[in-house]
A and B are shown apart, each in its own frame.
Chain A
């Protein structure tokens, strides 16, 4: 593996998409600030804004970093560099994941800290916050896979639409699970088996999607750009 060049490609993406990430962090922090205003409407708007900021980061990165790069014909330039197709895939997986982790971790840690220290909502919402924050992470991995493996704007758009419409639906069904719903209103976070299974399931899903993406890419013989 050509580590130095993979590193160069990751750094390049970081330099290119830094402003985008920063804007997501600013939007997320703003939403968290709004959620502490003290009344229910601002709490709901703030919470929704917080998740939108994470979803934005998880959507924009695969679209800008992979799809737009293909659409804007940067790939011919990138593939003229001394890298293989698989090294390009590796660089894209690493850069998209690492760059996404910056706003994701920042906002999730901030949200949990705010819940923990500001006491404006029961601490029982922390597990649910983590579960819901994990969904855009899974969604981003699906979009990475579609953009890399599908090699077409159509697949990327389809994956995007699927993920965007799934978030609200999953949120709705998760809230309908009595155990999770009841735990959310408790004063302390409850890490029951169901919560842990869902969180573990998200993690496994992320790993499986990424591994599958890498596997499918490694079987390709031709690089289309």
Chain B
């Protein structure tokens, strides 16, 4: 019973103009993973493989211990999936959808569904036609959360939401995470949202996973050093530094393996360390993507 919630190994899928290459992804139970990537990076394809809707060309996929796609029915009883482009039946009310879900899922928690209705400010008797995007996303999340899934897979759930709706949804998700047995895969290109709720972060770009680790480790390891170089000297990229941008005497070194010895090492080259800055997840993401693309081009 201690299988990881998600275990992808060596997974590949090739389309005519896009391919997912050698995806290795592991999400232990009870953890929240943020999957960050630009548009077209492969987030949705990865998620569809996880749900068994797209068959991988090669590699092994297990979700909650079930092999995918063969075990998709058994797995999906315990998966709650919501995506930004998911739509409910607009001619019907939210209550109609709730009743329908209740008739399907044994785990449906009516009390929790009623609490979510109140917290999200939704009305069960309201037809879904004409409701706002925020209300639509909240309605979808209500239907997903009240099933009490063991694994939540959220594909860009906060895209297009106003700040208040985003805050409400992220707060609810944070509350949901208090249930330690529940795992979450949260895909987004909005790093702020992911940073707020995730334990682990995985960056994906052009069909490849370019980095994956604990969020705190990411924030800890990545630093930007603002340096002043001696006149006429081009500063090198020391070990652990992934790039140095220099204009005149001013230089910025970005590292993904910061250690206290690094500033000292630069001082030994004659540079003066002006400032050591923490990087936001967004900056780390962009730097990671740029480095990965440079590597691929080389």
Which A positions have Cβ atoms within 8 angstroms of B? 2, 5, 8, 12, 16, 72-74, 76-77, 79-85, 87, 221-223, 225
Contact = CB atoms under 8 A, between A and B. Distances in A.
Contacts of A82: 72-74, 76-77
Contact of B100 (A8, A76, A221, A225): A8
Given A85-B53, A223-B54, A12 B100 contact: yes
Contact of A221 (B55, B85, B90, B144): B55
12 contacts: A16-B89, A76-B85, A76-B87, A77-B86, A80-B51, A80-B86, A82-B72, A82-B73, A82-B74, A82-B77, A83-B76, A85-B53
Nearest to B78: A82
B103 A77 contact: no
Contacts of B92: 16
B104 A5 contact: yes
A80 B55 contact: no
Contacts of A73: 85-87
B88 interface: yes
B82 interface: yes
Contact of A84 (B72, B81, B87, B144): B72
Given A73-B85, A81-B76, A16 B53 contact: no
Contacts of A72: 87, 90
A223 B104 contact: no
A73 B83 CA distance: 10
A84 B75 CA distance: 11
A176 B123 CA distance: 60
A158 B144 CA distance: 36
Nearest to B72: A84
Interface residues of B, number: 30
Nearest to B91: A16
B183 interface: no
A73 B82 CA distance: 12
B12 interface: no
B188 interface: no
Contacts of B80: 80
Nearest to B155: A76
A77 B90 contact: no
Chain A interface mostly: loop
A76 B81 CA distance: 9
Contacts of A81: 76, 104
B53 A83 contact: no
Nearest to B144: A80
B89 A80 contact: no
B46 interface: no
A45 to B, nearest CB: 32
Contacts of B73: 2, 82-84, 87
A151 B136 CA distance: 25
A223 B55 CA distance: 9
Contacts of A222: 48, 53-55
A16 B97 CA distance: 12
B79 interface: yes
Contacts of B254: none
A223 B49 CA distance: 10
A8 B74 CA distance: 17
B77 A74 contact: no
A76 B51 CA distance: 11
Interface string B42-81: 0000001001111100000000000001001110110111
A225 to B, nearest CB: 8
Contacts of A8: 100, 103-104
Interface in B94-126: 100, 103-104
A73 B128 CA distance: 14
A151 B87 CA distance: 18
Contacts of A223: 48, 53-54
A7 B37 CA distance: 38
Contacts of B77: 82
A48 B238 CA distance: 84
B140 interface: yes
Contacts of A2: 73
Nearest to A64: B91
A79 B53 contact: yes
A77 B85 CA distance: 9
CB-based closest 4 A-B pairs: A80-B81, A82-B76, A73-B87, A221-B55
Contacts of B85: 73, 76
Given A16-B89, A16-B91, A72-B87, A77 B140 contact: yes
A181 B214 CA distance: 80
